[in-house]
A and B are shown apart, each in its own frame.
Chain A
Amino acid sequence: MARNVVSPPLGQGTRNAWKRKFLERGIATLLFLSSFLSILITIGIVAVLLFEAITFFADVSFWEFITGTRWTPLFSSKQFGVLALVAGTTLTAVMAMVVALPLGLMSAIYLSEYSPDKVRRVVKPVLEVLAGIPTVVYGYFALLFVTPILRSISGDIAVFNALSASIVMGIMILPMVSSLSEDAMRSVPRTLREGAYALGSTKLEVSTLVVVPAALSGIVSAFILAVSRAIGETMIVTIAAGQNPSFTLNPFVPIETMTAYIVQVSQGDAPAGSIEFKTIFAVALLLFAITLVMNLLSQYVVSRFREEYE
């Protein structure tokens, strides 16, 4: 027994200590490098997009790009007005939010204020299944299920249209709105609700006049994140909304979003270095900038306007 507790000779002990120290330092460095890589990814994205976009803007004036309304880089008479693509993206994102906002917010109010705990525990994960379904599946559903129904209602609707894609995209982002909003509402302390009830409020009044305002920063940030998600969504709009860049707000005709354009060029074989190839970097840079601003805005709203109770 005694043998086992005798410490090693001093020389070996210090050697082990040195080895251990070396190992500790090495591991700490490796871990640091790994976390630095996450910052490098952002730098890499910006660098890659900027590099090709700058050579693109050597050939095409930035002013024409940002104010033009005709986008025809794949035709012989090339025009580079990105607003045609921005219009498509805006149209689909706004209409998707028209679906997702009311449904998502009301679902969140139901789950947070009305539903029994048992129901909530089943419904919430089931709703989140909607968010886990691959977007290509939604694209299939939009083109082959929703579009034929819409076309049977109105003959004015084209096979590829923004309406069908937007409705389905709204359903896809609905759980994001409802889940995040519900989290914000549930973190509103009980005492606020009870105070309002004690003054004779109905559940409707407590929900809309007390809980929603108190959770507003969380709800708004969820909305902004959902818009950002809708802007970056690719497969639904590529499959169901068409490949026809047009500066229009008509949801019945084929359009093209920024993301769908990138897919269109990637699927063809535009040779690296050609102007067609460079357009995707300019478009992606704009897309990246827009979503970055929205994500930062969403974080700002949460940190700046959060109401701290307790």
Chain B
Amino acid sequence: MAVIPQTEFQRRRARRKWMGRAFHAMCLLSVCIALGMLAVLLAYLLIQGITGISWSFLTGFASRHPEQAGIKAAILGSIYVVVVAGLVSFTLGVATAVYLEEYAARSKFAKIAKINIANLAGVPSIVYGILGLQIFVHSLHLGKSVLAGGFTLALLVLPIVIVAAGEAVRAVPPSFREGSYALGATRWQVIWHIVFPLAFPGILTGVILAVSRAIGETAPLIAMGALTFVPFSPDSPLSRFTVLPIQIFNWTSRPQEGFQEAAAAGIIVLLVILLMMNAGAVILRNRFQNKWD
């Protein structure tokens, strides 16, 4: 075996140590670049948009004049659509997760369904918009309405709810179920009285994640045919609508600087809504967790 002379060993060791330090610095730099971009993004939006936020901006309707433009219709549209999407995806998502985990666990059907759900999560959102256009708007004659938009987004976020609810249901210890079965409970009684209450915080977190994804979606609703200029409040599930991200998109693509400022102000409102929802998720989760610990 070749023996490396002492001086050569020291030289190599010094080089390896130096390379290690350089690599450490590069990795740290990568993280700093990513965090720095986030900081720049938020700072830029704040500087551009903060002056545009006023009471009349929040309560006014869309306008051809940037200084009069408001986001009332967009905020209402976003809320209605997201409420529909949240309710539908919650119901379907929890039902699906419970079936796959409690009834059909380890069956071939569950295996196929889970692969399918993983793939659905990777389908580009705009494809869901086309699906919504053909199924809800044309085939079911819902029109380009709040309901059609809500259903479209519900399908889009369904995989998120199913995966989160599935994890929450799986996390309930089997001994709890077995104890309940031993007392003579039926399968549904076990699910309703034992599994649901324990899995609820996890399910809730999943639904809030799903809803915050839905509230930021633009492309599927454009493909489905949501409006870009709405000078009225949507007043029924079948009324036409716009949402906040579409309003922002519309203003961003206009050349006048006033509209771009309005877009930045709209973005701040959107991000504040998202922030509040995520904070709400954390608070709710903590509260329920304490109760069951």
Chain A interface residues (CB < 8 Å from chain B):
20, 23-24, 27-28, 30-32, 34-35, 37-39, 41-42, 44-45, 48-49, 52, 102-104, 106-107, 109-111, 114-115, 123, 126-127, 129-130, 132-137, 139-141, 143-145, 171, 174-175, 178, 202-205, 207-208, 225, 228-229, 231-235, 238-239, 259, 262-263, 266-267, 272, 280-281, 284, 287-288, 291-292, 294-296, 299
Most chain-A Cβ atoms within 10 A of its Cβ — which of B109, B127, B159, B270? Answer: B127
- Report yes or no: B252 in contact with A205, Cβ–Cβ below 8 A: no
Distance of A36 from chain B, by nearest CB (Å):
8
9 pairs across A/B with beta carbons < 8 Å? A106-B26, A123-B31, A123-B35, A129-B38, A136-B267, A204-B20, A204-B24, A228-B122, A281-B130
For the complex, what is the distance from the CA of A140 to the CA of B91, rounded to whole Å? 35
Q: Find A266's partner among B29, B31, B113, B222 (CB 8 Å cutoff).
A: B222
Q: Find A175's partner among B34, B115, B158, B253 (CB 8 Å cutoff).
A: B34
Tell me the nearest residue of chain B to A39, going by C-beta. B116
For the complex, what is the distance from the CA of A207 to the CA of B270, rounded to whole Å? 40
Contacts of B280 in A (CB 8 A): none
- Report yes or no: A239 in contact with B122, Cβ–Cβ below 8 A: no
Distance of B27 from chain A, by nearest CB (Å):
4
For the complex, what is the distance from the CA of A178 to the CA of B31, rounded to whole Å? 10
Query: Given contacts A45-B127, A228-B122, A272-B138, is CB(A35)–CB(B95) below 8 Å?
Result: yes
CB proximity to A under 8 Å, residues B126-142: 126-131, 134-135, 138
- Report yes or no: A267 in contact with B228, Cβ–Cβ below 8 A: yes
Distance of A98 from chain B, by nearest CB (Å):
14
- Report yes or no: B134 in contact with A207, Cβ–Cβ below 8 A: no
Distance of A166 from chain B, by nearest CB (Å):
14
- Report yes or no: A132 in contact with B274, Cβ–Cβ below 8 A: yes
Q: Find B131's partner among A45, A136, A202, A266 (CB 8 Å cutoff).
A: A45
Query: Given contacts A126-B38, A144-B260, A295-B122, is CB(A38)–CB(B31) below 8 Å?
Result: no
- A sample of 13 more A-B contacts (CB under 8 A), given A38-B96, A134-B218, A175-B34, is A34-B92, A38-B158, A106-B29, A129-B38, A132-B274, A133-B274, A137-B248, A143-B252, A204-B20, A234-B125, A263-B222, A267-B228, A291-B122
- Report yes or no: A110 in contact with B217, Cβ–Cβ below 8 A: no
- Report yes or no: B23 in contact with A140, Cβ–Cβ below 8 A: no
Contacts of A102 in B (CB 8 A): 30
Query: Given contacts A31-B95, A102-B30, is CB(A127)–CB(B223) below 8 Å?
Result: no
Tell me the nearest residue of chain B to A138, going by C-beta. B41
- Report yes or no: A239 in contact with B100, Cβ–Cβ below 8 A: no
Distance of B227 from chain A, by nearest CB (Å):
11
Contacts of B264 in A (CB 8 A): 140
Q: Find B120's partner among A42, A107, A296 (CB 8 Å cutoff).
A: A42
- Report yes or no: B98 in contact with A31, Cβ–Cβ below 8 A: yes
Distance of A104 from chain B, by nearest CB (Å):
8
Contacts of A143 in B (CB 8 A): 252
